[in-house]
Amino acid sequence: MLKRPATFATPPDRLLPLEAQIEHEELMALIAAADEAYHGRDAPEISDAEYDGLRRRMEAIEVAFPLLAARGLAGKVGSRAQDKFAKVRHRVPMLSLANSFTATDVADFVGRIRSFLGLGAEEPVVLTAEPKIDGLSLSLRYEGGRLVQAATRGDGEEGEDVTTNARTIADIPQRLGGDVPAVFEVRGEVYLGHADFAALNARQREAGDKEFANPRNAAAGSLRQLDPAITAARPLRFFAYAWGEAERLPAASQFGIVEAFGGWGLPINPLMRRCDSVETLLAHYAAIEAMRASLGYDIDGVVYKVDRIDWQQRLGFVGRAPRWATAHKFPAEKAMTRIEAIDIQVGRTGALTPVAKLSPVTVGGVVVSNATLHNADEIARLDVRIGDMVVVQRAGDVIPQVVEVVAGQRPANTEAYVFPHVCPCDLKTDVMKETTAAGVESVVRRCTGEFACPFQRIEHLKHFCSRRAFDIEGFGDKQIAFFFEKGLIREPADIFALQTRDEAPGNLQRLQNYEGFGEVSIRNLFAAIEARRTIGLERLIFALGIRHVGETTAKMLARNYGSWVAFDAACMRVAAGEADAMLEMDAIDQIGESVIEAIRAYFGEDHNRAIVDRLAAQLTIVDAEKAVAESPVAGKTVVFTGALEKMTRDEAKAMAERLGAKVAGSVSKKTDLVVAGPGAGSKLKAASDLGIEVIDEDGWLALVGG
């Protein structure tokens, strides 16, 4: 084994450049040798603590001598600078949490768990309660106990590879100790403490750099640094609280698993408790809230999680959030300021949203100068006027809102606000109030210009390029607005024709002639667009921006139709009013009348059709995953009748839907399978009359492998 370098004890910033270079090389060699011993020969020669010490020393030197960072160990351990981050597909998606705001919400949450699992009144539901850290989530993949990859959450399915940066965070062990599963993804929150945040902003100020609005932005900016030396110089911290892919779990409870994390050397939050009633949850919430200001880091609520892992598994997910957890948020923070103007914004679907322009004010650490007033009815309810003093509030990521007008502070000569009757776009199109299918008048006023309205067009393009849709790198709202104004991009297909048009002989509107577009940035932009020319069906459907078709609906549609050709054909048939096609779409889980109506309207419009056709002609569309179709009940219609003894109805339904089946309430010719328990009556008879297969609960569990 190599000897420890002689200069090891000198603080890195006191090393001479040549000394630093020599020591850096020695350290790289030591680390490489240790890696080889550990992995290649399975015979570690130094302790984990020593190993971590070497890495930290190397990283400290790289902070003091950033040029050395660029030399790295051929990508193996070195902190090499990169152009941009590689993408990492999460093997287990990184989900979000549903929110609770009141004690009633919390009681309802626990109530839903009880009823889903069919628990008796006496049976306690134990939950963990812990602070919700206001940072950014990170997934750390350990193989053989060694950190091999760190990835940001991204859109939950795909994040960014920030391994090199994560390695510079002292809280994150390079190696875990103890009985660690062969593969284990630890998930948790990266954050910045209050004192470190203040010091960082002071440094930024001195250097004439931009200050960060809050610790979370600072943490995010620090982790997503292309130069790892910068990350290393920011004292990021980490708390572990969840997991992704795991070869096995170290315990059968949430609490036990997080405790095991602590035993492996990961930092865990000391305020995690087990609670066995709504009252104890609320008491712990109150205790944490009371400590909030003195914790030294930002938290924005308390997270409750069902402790038993087998229950977590049974409860599963709705959309992107687990049924077994909720974030009990702290009340929104408020501040007072004056309204300087009221602007109208036009959204993607033409909805007119009034926005209050405020005298800038700090609300919970963030400077706010815009707040939503929601709609015309809300303005009327508040009777808010330009010049009024108002209370604004913000909670977490939510857009700040105006909550009330401060009485007695209204200046003289104000006038009640009159909501515009025409769209602020050049077309001055009429603004309509809609009525829902049930005949209720909506509070939303909408511009009827659709794709003719430049505001809607541009919002469509923004949605199209957004992170969860086409996610074109370097093609944010600003760039879209620029291309739109210059008339270079009017609709999605234009994005994919940009390069061909730009390079066409005789084109006088070359990008390179615009300020801010250098050769490299143009090349990068074209490469980013090319990278998205191949797109998954579900992303494409979501990107189309059809009303009511969010991500979950897009996914359901994609999984059901499988290919673009099939989806497109079905939509055309729906648009033509074909009953069969509508019924087929209606049979898809989570899809109902409003979605079908929106699809009918969208595809029924020739203008939209042409836009979609031109777009599809530019793309290579990847069929949706058929994973679900492999289940024995995928695509089948199942009816549950009689009593179930091993699970509740809700649970049975959720299980069936997870496996791609549709659950119906009554037996008809369309039913494929009836699961009958004791006490089944008319439905069982109907099934036998129609010759439909009937099985009991055990048969069902055997069929679906439960």
Q: Which residues pair with 385 in a beta bridge?
A: none
Distance between CA atoms of residues 662 and 672, nearest Å: 10
Q: Rank residues 314 and 600 by Cβ distance to ligand IVH and give the closer one.
A: 314
Shortest CB 101 distance to ligand IVH, Å:
14
Q: Rank residues 137 and 349 by Cβ distance to ligand IVH and give the closer one.
A: 137
Map residue 281 onto helix, strand or coil: helix
Stretch that binds ligand IVH, among 48-56, 93-101, 273-281, 658-666 (CB under 6 A): 93-101
Using CB under 6 A, which residues numbered 264 to 303 contact ligand IVH?
303
Shortest CB 66 distance to ligand IVH, Å:
30
Distance between CA atoms of residues 543 and 256, nearest Å: 41
- By the 10 Å C-beta count (0-12 exposed, 13-18 middle, 19+ buried), 126 is classed as middle
- By the 10 Å C-beta count (0-12 exposed, 13-18 middle, 19+ buried), 145 is classed as buried
User: Does residue number 192 form part of the binding site for ligand IVH (CB under 6 A)?
Assistant: no
Q: Rank residues 288 and 674 by Cβ distance to ligand IVH and give the closer one.
A: 288
User: Does residue number 96 form part of the binding site for ligand IVH (CB under 6 A)?
Assistant: yes
For residue 515, report the phi and psi dihedrals to the nearest 5 degrees. -65, 145
Distance between CA atoms of residues 570 and 308, nearest Å: 43
User: Does residue number 189 form part of the binding site for ligand IVH (CB under 6 A)?
Assistant: yes
Q: Which DSSP string corresponds to 172-186?
A: S-SB--SS--SEEEE
Q: Rank residues 264 and 484 by Cβ distance to ligand IVH and give the closer one.
A: 264
Distance between CA atoms of residues 205 and 431, nearest Å: 47
Shortest CB 91 distance to ligand IVH, Å:
14
Q: Rank residues 241 and 455 by Cβ distance to ligand IVH and give the closer one.
A: 241
Distance between CA atoms of residues 644 and 676, nearest Å: 8
Nearest residue to ligand IVH on Cβ basis: 137
User: Does residue number 675 form part of the binding site for ligand IVH (CB under 6 A)?
Assistant: no
Distance between CA atoms of residues 557 and 568, nearest Å: 11
DSSP one-letter code for 351? B
Stretch that binds ligand IVH, among 119-127, 322-330, 437-445, 481-489 (CB under 6 A): 322-330
User: Does residue number 358 form part of the binding site for ligand IVH (CB under 6 A)?
Assistant: no
Near ligand IVH by CB under 6 A: residue from 132, 167, 308, 653: 132
Determine contact, residues 423/431, Cβ cutoff 8 Å: yes
Q: Rank residues 125 and 133 by Cβ distance to ligand IVH and give the closer one.
A: 133
Given the residues 132, 653, 662, 683, the one annotated as active site: 132
Which residue from 387, 432, 431, 381 is spatially nearest to 403, judged by alpha carbons? 381
First and final CA of the chain: distance in angstroms?
52
Give the DSSP H/E element, type plus range, for residue 369: strand 366-372
Gyration radius of the chain's alpha carbons:
29
**Burial 352-375, CB ≥16 within 10 A → b, else e:** bbbbbebeebebbeeebeebbbbb
Near ligand IVH by CB under 6 A: residue from 238, 241, 470, 564: 241
Distance between CA atoms of residues 325 and 619, nearest Å: 39
Show the binding pattern over residues 39-78: x = contacts ligand IVH (CB under 6 A), - = does not.
----------------------------------------
Stretch that binds ligand IVH, among 131-139, 419-427, 561-569, 575-583 (CB under 6 A): 131-139
User: Does residue number 242 form part of the binding site for ligand IVH (CB under 6 A)?
Assistant: yes
Q: Rank residues 78 and 131 by Cβ distance to ligand IVH and give the closer one.
A: 131
User: Does residue number 240 form part of the binding site for ligand IVH (CB under 6 A)?
Assistant: no
User: Does residue number 130 form part of the binding site for ligand IVH (CB under 6 A)?
Assistant: yes
DSSP one-letter code for 4? P
| Residue the block writes with tokens 């119906």 | 664
Q: Rank residues 322 and 677 by Cβ distance to ligand IVH and give the closer one.
A: 322
Near ligand IVH by CB under 6 A: residue from 20, 28, 88, 133: 133
Shortest CB 621 distance to ligand IVH, Å:
30
Shortest CB 325 distance to ligand IVH, Å:
5
Stretch that binds ligand IVH, among 92-100, 142-150, 349-357, 557-565 (CB under 6 A): 92-100
Shortest CB 108 distance to ligand IVH, Å:
18
Total residues at interface with ligand IVH (CB under 6 A): 15
Near ligand IVH by CB under 6 A: residue from 33, 81, 95, 230: 95
User: Does residue number 253 form part of the binding site for ligand IVH (CB under 6 A)?
Assistant: no
Which residue from 386, 444, 371, 392 is spatially nearest to 416, judged by alpha carbons? 386
* 210 assigned to active site: no
| Residue the block writes with tokens 């939209």 | 608
User: Does residue number 327 form part of the binding site for ligand IVH (CB under 6 A)?
Assistant: yes
Q: Rank residues 97 and 582 by Cβ distance to ligand IVH and give the closer one.
A: 97
Stretch that binds ligand IVH, among 126-134, 223-231, 281-289, 508-516 (CB under 6 A): 126-134
User: Does residue number 325 form part of the binding site for ligand IVH (CB under 6 A)?
Assistant: yes
Secondary structure in 3-state letters for 127-138: EEEEEEECCEEE
Determine contact, residues 425/454, Cβ cutoff 8 Å: yes
Distance between CA atoms of residues 553 and 563, nearest Å: 15
Q: Rank residues 146 and 273 by Cβ distance to ligand IVH and give the closer one.
A: 273
Shortest CB 317 distance to ligand IVH, Å:
8
| Residue the block writes with tokens 């999460």 | 90
Shortest CB 119 distance to ligand IVH, Å:
22
Secondary structure in 3-state letters for 593-661: HHHHHHHHHHHCCHHHHHHHHHHHCCCEEECCCCHHHHCCCCCCEEEEECCCCCCCHHHHHHHHHHCCC
Near ligand IVH by CB under 6 A: residue from 322, 350, 400, 449: 322
Q: Active-site residues: which are they? A: 132
Binding site for ligand IVH (CB under 6 A): 95-97, 130, 132-133, 137, 153, 189, 241-242, 303, 322, 325, 327
